[in-house]
Amino acid sequence: MSFNSNFVWGAATAAYQIEGAASEDGKGLSVWDMCAHIPSFVKGNHTGDHACNHYYRYKEDVQLMKEIGLQAYRLSISWPRVLPDGTGRINEKGLDFYDRLIDELLENGITPYVTLFHWDYPHELFKKGGWLNPDSSDWFAEYTRVIADRLSDRVTNWFTQNEPQCYIGLGHSNGTHAPGLKLGQAEVLQATHNSLLAHGKAVQTLRQYSKQPCQIGYAPVGITSFPETETPENIEAARRHTFSITEPTFWMNTWYMDPVFLGHYPEDGLKVFEPWLPTIKPGDMETINQPLDFLGLNIYHGTPVKMGADSKPQLIGNHDGYPQTSMRWTVTPESLYWGPKFFYERYGAPIVITENGMANLDWVNLDKQVHDPQRIDYMHRYLQEYRRAATDGVDVKGYFYWSFMDNFEWAEGYNERFGLVHTDYRDGKRTIKDSGYWYRSVIQSNGESL
């Protein structure tokens, strides 16, 4: 059985992870440029200064996308590349790059899906308080207007922000990602609220200024629980665990999603976070709650849950020797069934898997090929579960493998390889892996070969 005829098959990357040219052609600094140069912030003291040199090799990369058969490519815009100070002065050379990239994609039959913000916050705005500044949502709206004015004559599919759990939580709470802050709970929640406002204002800006009808989504982490066994009690436990807030942590779903899709913060979260709630002005929730065309979910793994004897969800520990990727993330294909199912039931928005993939220990073999059977098996298992969700009535619109090519994996540097294409960081040579060719066959059959 195949997916629907309008299902979209793609792959994804992010600007800082692949572009390089970190200080060229007028680009401003981002918080990742700042943090990557702090000793030991990134493993091996790696930086994204050169990354995959996609800024200069984008034509070659688009040809590789075409060879793999990608129908769509999810890219992000580097905010400080087009607005070096975050607001005000436009860097035409930066915009020209994205102009050329979009044109190259379209000329090769690949539909661009553009993410406005994938973590590379402008350093100049960080110095003004970043997401803590009450003007931060207006800064993001101004940036969105610049991109809409330039690209919306050709781009019709947008994502506002990628993984707020990471750039707020990891970046502002535990400090392992840029900008490397360890703020108090009240400040983290205020930054989150301002970021949600920025999302809403970006949607409003795109609706107002897009030069043609467009589709807009949002791409948080889809933190997924799944039933240990598929009994009604365990299914309910997994659903409740996916959407509950029981402790003051940033690693959850509803605080980032309920305002966007339902127009309010979740009641259990308001109780848990009551001592630290952000300033919520009249009209804020209406601004955040803008109509969206789909929900993007970044899902790599999930957590097994059963209903406890006390009628509360109970986490099940991983068994000894459980399958895992080189990132030590569990291999749990069930998460690509239950995640889309639970989120679709709660929010009613069509689902796009905006990231799913695995880090693997890949290298170029003696035969000059890259053999990665584990990745093929991983994708096969996960896509079968995603197709099961579609069969069971979940409105699924697309799948974007993470990532198109090996790249700078944030705090892990160049130590983890997620790509369908192998990158030799010494000379930049690209080699399509076996998984890339396998994925091509899946795309050609629209999933029927799974």
Give residue-wise pLDDT tens across range 23-56.
999 999 999 999 999 999 999 999 999 999 999 9
Residue 160, H or E segment: strand 157-162
Q: Can you state the percent helix, strand and coil of the chain, rounding each to 5?
A: 40, 15, 40
pTM summary value: 0.98
Dump pLDDT digits (tens) for 71-91: 999 999 999 999 999 999 999
Reported confidence tier of residue 320, pLDDT bands at 50, 70, 90: confident
Q: Per the annotation, does 215 bind a ligand?
A: no
pLDDT at 314: 94
pLDDT at 319: 78
Residues 379-404: pLDDT tens digits?
A: 999 999 999 999 999 999 999 999 99
Contact assessment for residue 306 and residue 228, using Cβ atoms and an 8 Å cutoff: yes
DSSP 170: I
Q: For residue 356, give every residue at least 6 positions away whose Cβ sits within 8 Å of its Cβ, in sequence order, or none.
A: 298, 299, 300, 336, 382, 399, 400, 401, 402
Rg from Cα positions in the chain = 21
pLDDT, position 13:
98
d(CA 287, CA 386): 32
Instruction: Catalytic residue, from 163, 228, 334, 385: name it.
Output: 163
State the pLDDT at residue 321.
87
How far apart are alpha carbons 29 and 49 in whole angstroms?
Answer: 11
Distance CA 405, CA 426 (A): 15
**150-202 pLDDT, tens per residue?**
999 999 999 999 999 999 999 999 999 999 999 999 999 999 999 999 999 99
Task: Spell out the domains of the chain, with CATH numbers in brackets.
Answer: 8-444 (3.20.20.80)
157 marked as binding residue = no
Say if residues 127 and 62 touch (Cβ distance below 8 Å).
Answer: no
46 is in an annotated binding site: no
Instruction: Report pLDDT digits (tens) over 399-440.
Output: 999 999 999 999 999 999 999 999 999 999 999 999 999 999
Judge whether 193 is annotated as a binding position: no
DSSP lists the bridge partners of residue 399 as 9, 353
Please indicate whether residue 230 is annotated as part of the active site: no
pLDDT (0 to 100) of residue 440: 98
What's the pLDDT at 399?
98
60 is catalytic: no
416 annotated among ligand-binding-site residues: no
Mean pLDDT, rounded, of the chain:
97
The answer to whether 409 is a known ligand-binding residue is yes
Neighbours of 230 (CB within 10 A): 12
Query: What digits encode the pLDDT tens for the residues 357-370?
Result: 999 999 999 999 99
Percentage of the residues of the chain whose pLDDT score is greater than 90: 98
If one counts every other C-beta atom within 10 angstroms of the C-beta of residue 372, the result is: 24
410 in a labelled binding site: yes
The pLDDT score that the predictor gives to residue 73 is: 99
**Percentage of residues in the chain with pLDDT exceeding 70?**
100
Tokens found for residue 160: 């506002």
Yes or no: say if 299 and 288 are a contact pair by the CB < 8 Å rule: no
Examine the pLDDT at 1 and tell me if it is beyond 90.
no
Q: Which of 19, 104, 355, 385 is catalytic?
A: 355
**Span 334-342, mean pLDDT?**
98
Give the pLDDT confidence score for residue 65 in this predicted structure.
98
Q: How far apart are CA 103 and CA 90, in angstroms?
A: 20
299 with 212: CB under 8 angstroms?
no
